Structure 1
Amino acid sequence: MPLRGIVPPLVTPLLDNDTLDVAGLERLIEHVISGGVHALFLLGTTGEFASLSYKIREDLIRLSCQFAKGRVPVLVGISDSAFTESLNLARKAALYGADAVVITPPYYFSSGQPELLEYLKRTMVQMPLPLFVYNMPVHTKVMFAPETVRAAADIPGIIGIKDSSANLAYFNQVQYLLKHRPDFTFMVGPEEITAEFVMMGGHGGVNGGANMFPKLYVDLYNAAAAHDLPKVMALRDKVLQISTSIYNVGQFGSSYLKGLKCALSVMGICNDFMAEPFHRFNEPERKIIQEALEKIDYKSLL
């Protein structure tokens, strides 16, 4: 510790609402590992976890650990509105060989910061694996405040945080409060700020685009860690081109996920079926994604 580098939040390849695209999942895992990623993160936002049945979640954990073959650490999202279900997922993750689990604040009911800290303490009493906290306020409507993160770092078994707030002021506050804990992993979600985050002392990125172009994001991380600013600027431009062209088709709230899955389908990696309530892009949008990939010259990034 700390875990460093690029950790793709793996998409969940599906054939229908309750069936994994198993061949696609294996291709995807081989694709990202061969691109040099440092770990895998299952059942995050990009993995559509909240739309998946527990059967699908368990199948995904089992098969992903099997396909990873111990080559990189496997992190498993166990976020749920029900405490018992989070623990059940954690036990399945431990059973199938995952290395750590990741949890957001419980969603639906709004928790105060003292309640969140109590929740983490109670969780860790029964947790079979090390745990990362996941700050995702846009979806959970609750955030782990900087002081709560500092206190959580003192709970045995909590080993890091993934922050998807896209707030560099938040990063600075948390980093300052954790300066006595260089072993505590601090990673960022939004790929648009990953380079700046790493150059400011962050440990890496949990970047959705690494599903498509793992080597690009690994190269960006390495350049940022080395403070190679000219290389950072060149690679960051490519990341921003991907972000603005692939993730914004149709201007839906779901455009990021639809665009990412559609791109993976165009690239021949996995199926682009979306779990309800969303549907995959239709042919007009798919054509836009295909043209965007060609404009990016995506084959040169593989």
Structure 2
Amino acid sequence: MKTIQPLPLPFRGIVPPMITPLADENQLDIPGLERLINHIIAGGVHGLFILGTTGESTSLSYDIRHELVKRTCAIVNGRVPVLVGITDTAATESLRLADTAAKEGAAAVVAAPPYYFSLGQPELIEYYEYLVERLSLPLFLYNMPSHTKIVIEPDTVKTLSQYDNIVGLKDSSANNAYFNKVMAKMKDRQDFSLFVGPEEIMAETVLLGAHGGVNGGANMFPELYVKLYAAAESGDLETVKRLHAIVMQISTKMYSLGQFGSSYLKGIKGALSLLGICSDYMASPLHRFREKEREILAEQLKEIQQQL
């Protein structure tokens, strides 16, 4: 097992949910992975999150998931903490991936609720207790109700935070009322990290006391999101307004191209391909943008770049 530096608590900053560069259905784009990781870290991010929703984790074979953990930790080489998504319908697979993460030097793991059976909150608490009792790495809860059908209720977050090894929450619900309730519940736990996924609300949540963002756009423009986070943390409202406007352009244009539920992910992968960083191949059942959308995306990318 490799030695890692313990996470500072609370953990703060911009932690991009990295896309998974693929050469085809069964192979990573290794040169692209290295370019992507170096590109993201060069932007000043505070950590890296792999095998989340943006990383297409549930569409990847177990072999690729384990290989991605190994290669990512080797390429990062301790420059920033690596967080590994271990969400699965089978707890044994989650624990197996967590074991690989620990052996390769990851700093923490991240787990959303299992996404087949609709668990009640007592069952959800038991599930996370089962995991945490068997994990050697710190665990972040991951609230993603649109994909899992389950909300990790604020009271459940509070209950689970009593475990020393459960150190934070990533909320991708885009529900400000929910997130503010969680912050209110956790106001006496300054060591418990609260992150939001949707970049459209990252700045305002940080202004209100959140610890950072797990924002997909930081795959493409890491420095933009780092600067926006820093401005929000310091209360620099003029800079927040200016940079947030660019983030909203990315959201409304690059993430909304075509009639696809996966336009957000197609947009990020397509842009990274246009930037010459990595392949835009997507694991089945998803597929990359065709030429028509790609041409529009290229124009949108140029427009954004001119504002940076």
TM-score, normalised to structure 1, is 0.98
Q: How far off is 1:172 after superposition?
A: 1.3
| Separation in structure 2 between the aligned mates of residue 223 and residue 291 of structure 1, nearest angstrom | 28
The CA deviation string for residues 221-279 of structure 1, in whole angstroms up to 9 with x for no partner, is 00000111111000000000111111111131011111110000000010000000011
Q: Which residue of structure 2 lines up, in the alignment, with residue 260 of structure 1?
A: 268
> Match for 1:123 among 131, 135, 138?
131
> Match for 2:291 among 275, 283, 293?
283
| Separation in structure 2 between the aligned mates of residue 173 and residue 232 of structure 1, nearest angstrom | 24
Q: How far off is 1:128 after superposition?
A: 1.5
| Separation in structure 1 between the aligned mates of residue 221 and residue 186 of structure 2, nearest angstrom | 31
Q: Which residue of structure 2 lines up, in the alignment, with residue 182 of structure 1?
A: 190
> Match for 1:114 among 116, 122, 125?
122
* Mapped contact 1:5–1:203 kept (Cα < 8 A): yes
The CA deviation string for residues 166-208 of structure 1, in whole angstroms up to 9 with x for no partner, is 1111111111111111000000000000000000000000000
Q: Which residue of structure 2 lines up, in the alignment, with residue 158 of structure 1?
A: 166
Q: For 1:197-276, list aligned pairs within 5 A.
A: 197-276=205-284
| Separation in structure 1 between the aligned mates of residue 219 and residue 303 of structure 2, nearest angstrom | 18
- Give SS of 2:141's match: strand
The two structures, once aligned, show a CA RMSD in angstroms of: 0.8
> Match for 2:25 among 5, 17, 37?
17
Structure 1 stretches of 5 or more lacking a match?
Answer: none
Q: Which residue of structure 2 lines up, in the alignment, with residue 62 of structure 1?
A: 70
> Match for 1:135 among 129, 137, 143?
143
- Give SS of 1:126's match: coil
Q: Which residue of structure 1 lines up, in the alignment, with residue 97 of structure 2?
A: 89
The CA deviation string for residues 2-51 of structure 1, in whole angstroms up to 9 with x for no partner, is 11110000000001011000000000000010000000000000000000
- Give SS of 1:272's match: coil
Q: Which residue of structure 1 lines up, in the alignment, with residue 43 of structure 2?
A: 35
Amino acid corresponding to residue 126 of structure 2 in structure 1: E
Amino acid corresponding to residue 20 of structure 1 in structure 2: L
| Separation in structure 2 between the aligned mates of residue 256 and residue 278 of structure 1, nearest angstrom | 12
* Mapped contact 1:262–1:281 kept (Cα < 8 A): yes
| Separation in structure 1 between the aligned mates of residue 127 and residue 118 of structure 2, nearest angstrom | 13
Q: How far off is 1:295 after superposition?
A: 1.4
The CA deviation string for residues 138-163 of structure 1, in whole angstroms up to 9 with x for no partner, is 00010100000000100130000000
| Separation in structure 1 between the aligned mates of residue 105 and residue 163 of structure 2, nearest angstrom | 23
| Separation in structure 2 between the aligned mates of residue 294 and residue 71 of structure 1, nearest angstrom | 30
Q: Which residue of structure 2 lines up, in the alignment, with residue 78 of structure 1?
A: 86
Q: Which residue of structure 2 lines up, in the alignment, with residue 53 of structure 1?
A: 61
| Separation in structure 2 between the aligned mates of residue 255 and residue 171 of structure 1, nearest angstrom | 25
- Give SS of 1:268's match: coil
